[in-house]
């Protein structure tokens, strides 16, 4: 299990390849990446986090995923600091013998990371800055699991 909370950019493809190469006994690899949308007007995204708690919260979520599904491995990378449109904010990857496990575990990780890992996004636009509000649907998504 690899968990990285970092300011530096990462290479989604290289991470996906390294992750898949490490799991030759697994048949299914799912990746999710969250990108800064190049929406009209967004100049950058600023991501704040809670050093210390962040890694712990992510590890707890990843361990829960490993308990619930038959998984070979889990990868979570999440950036903080300033990100430009089009950049990858984060990624998760799951490897499993069967595709359903890989898919469900990746969705579970995303749902929990979204609402339970201490990150906060601020949008920096031409006309000022605004903290991104949490969505009711993100909290509701946890009810699935």
Partner 1 sequence: MEVLYFAWVRERIGLPRERVETRAATVSDLVAELTAREERYAAAFADLSALRVALDQELAEFDAPLDGVREVAFFPPMTGG
CB of 130 to a copy of itself, least distance (A): 17
Rounded distance, CA 45 to CA 35, Å?
A: 10
3 state SS of 66: helix
Q: Closer CB to partner 1, residue 59 or residue 66? A: 59
Q: Which of 31, 49, 62, 71 binds a copy of itself (CB under 8 A)?
A: 31
Do residues 65 and 108 make contact, with C-beta atoms less than 8 angstroms apart?
yes
Q: Is 142 left (phi over 0), alpha (psi -120 to 50) or beta?
A: alpha
- Choosing from 86, 133, 136, 143, the residue that interacts with a copy of itself (CB under 8 A) is 86
How far apart CA 44 and CA 135 sit, in angstroms, is 20
DSSP code of residue 133: P
44 is an interface residue for a copy of itself by CB under 8 A: no
Q: If DSSP codes are grouped into helix, strand and coil, which group holds residue 40?
A: coil
Stretch binding a copy of itself (CB under 8 A), from 31-39, 49-57, 75-83, 118-126: 31-39
134 binds partner 1 (CB under 8 A): yes
Contacting partner 1 within 9-68 (CB under 8 A): 34, 47-50, 52-53, 56-57
Q: Is 3 a residue that touches partner 1 (CB under 8 A)?
A: no
């Amino acid at each position: 299990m690899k968990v990285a909370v970092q300011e530096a950019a990462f290479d989604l493809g290289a991470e996906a390849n390294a992750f898949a190469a490490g799991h030759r006994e697994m048949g299914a690899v799912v990746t999710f990446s969250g990108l800064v949308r190049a929406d009209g007007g967004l100049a950058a995204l600023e991501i704040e986090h809670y050093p210390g708690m962040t890694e712990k919260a992510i590890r707890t979520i990843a361990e829960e995923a490993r308990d619930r599904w038959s998984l070979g491995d889990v990868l979570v990378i999440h950036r903080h600091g300033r990100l430009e449109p089009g950049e990858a904010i984060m990624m998760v990857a799951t490897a499993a013998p069967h595709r359903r496990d890989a898919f469900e575990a990746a969705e579970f990780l995303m749902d929990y990371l979204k609402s339970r890992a201490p990150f906060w996004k601020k949008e920096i636009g031409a006309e000022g800055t605004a903290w991104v509000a949490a969505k009711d649907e993100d909290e509701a998504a946890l009810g699935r699991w």
